[in-house]
Amino acid sequence: MGYLCGQVPGLKVEGLVTDSNSKTYLSRRKFFAATGAAATSAGTVAAAGGATDAAEDTGREIHYGMVIDARLCYGCHACTVACKAEFGVPLGENRSWVEYTEKGTFPHLSLGFLPRLCNQCSAPPCVPVCPVGATWKREEDGIVVIDPDICIGCKYCIQACPYDMRFLNVDTGSAEKCDFCIHRVSQGLEPACVEACPAGARIFGDINDPDSEISHVIAENPVTVLRPEQGTEPNIFYIGADHTDERDPRVESMYVSVTTNRRYEERR
């Protein structure tokens, strides 16, 4: 997991905040309430404690990420439904969904569940291609956002995403994708999918804060990201995820069937 060290500041000793007063443990909800209020003013954030050293290391104070424990997921689609309801995502499209991976033949087989959402990459390939500057990675919290009032709907970013996370919202004519529920997170709430998950498989938080629950979980478990060879440095981490693909050369002789549970039957 060497490549993770570069992108999870919580693991970096030299990046630690020196101000010990601010390091009292907060519950997740309280933490969001605090950061949500602080994030309303960039100046407040920059002034907080001796945190500027850590900010220099990563370019931002807070960096939201998510850990998905695929061992706990049982594919109920509560996250998918919560997300669709939260944003009124048009029919046929999803900001988040759960893929099933069937593998092997009876009695030696497995069924894996893989929740998918925007990876909020640290090197997002969708951002530099935008010809009108309608999408960017937020300085204050690392969320990759789209401004639907600037977006012209050219669909270049949709092509550039190696995870097929973006789609054109036919109701607005703008590109759209998961934004970690900014409207909820900024009010101190968790994203809709996290709150809806009955298995507790999703953990959301600030990966720049070494004391956050998510940083603890990442530090204490083997985690993986999707398609790391694309160089996108995703911020969605999986525990126990089955990365097997139907086209995977590693399992050519084995029965593998992926059900995407979305409009596109093939994984893209």
Partner 1 sequence: MAEGLTWGLPVILYLFLAGMGAGATTVSASMLLRGGGAHGVHHEIARFGAILGPIPVIIGTGLIILELGSFQNGNYFRFLNLLLVVNLSPMNIGTWLLFLFTSTSVVYAYTYLNFLPMPFGDRVKVRRALAWANIPLGLGVAIYTGVMLGAMPSRPFWNSPILAFLFMLSALSTGTALIVFTRALVPRRGLDEEQQEVVHKSGYVLATSDATFIGFELIVVFLFLMFAYLSVGDVRYAIETILPGGPLATLFWIGVVLVGLVIPGLLELYFVIPGLLYHRKYTVSRYTELVIAAAVIFGGLVLRYVVVVAGQITGPVGL
Binding residue (CB under 8 A) for partner 1 from 29, 30, 155, 183: 155
Question: Which segment (37-45, 65-73, 128-136, 177-185) binds partner 1 by CB under 8 A?
Answer: 128-136
- The Cα–Cα gap between 212 and 195 comes to 17
- The Cα–Cα gap between 197 and 79 comes to 6
Min dist CB 21 to partner 1, Å, is 42
Binding residue (CB under 8 A) for partner 1 from 125, 188, 199, 221: 125
- Residue 41 CB-density burial (10 A; 0-12 exposed, 13-18 middle, 19+ buried): exposed
| 248 touches partner 1 (CB under 8 A) | yes
Could you give the string, one character per residue 49-88, with x where binding to partner 1 holds by CB under 8 A and - elsewhere? ----------------------------------------
| Of 134, 239, 143, 138, residue with least CA distance to 191 | 143
| 30 touches partner 1 (CB under 8 A) | no
Nearer Cβ to partner 1, position 22 or 259? 259
Question: Which residues, 6+ apart, have CB-to-CB distance to 236 below 8 Å?
Answer: 65, 66, 67, 68, 117, 118, 119, 120, 225, 226
| 121 touches partner 1 (CB under 8 A) | no
| 267 touches partner 1 (CB under 8 A) | yes
Terminus-to-terminus CA distance in the chain, angstroms?
25
| 139 touches partner 1 (CB under 8 A) | no
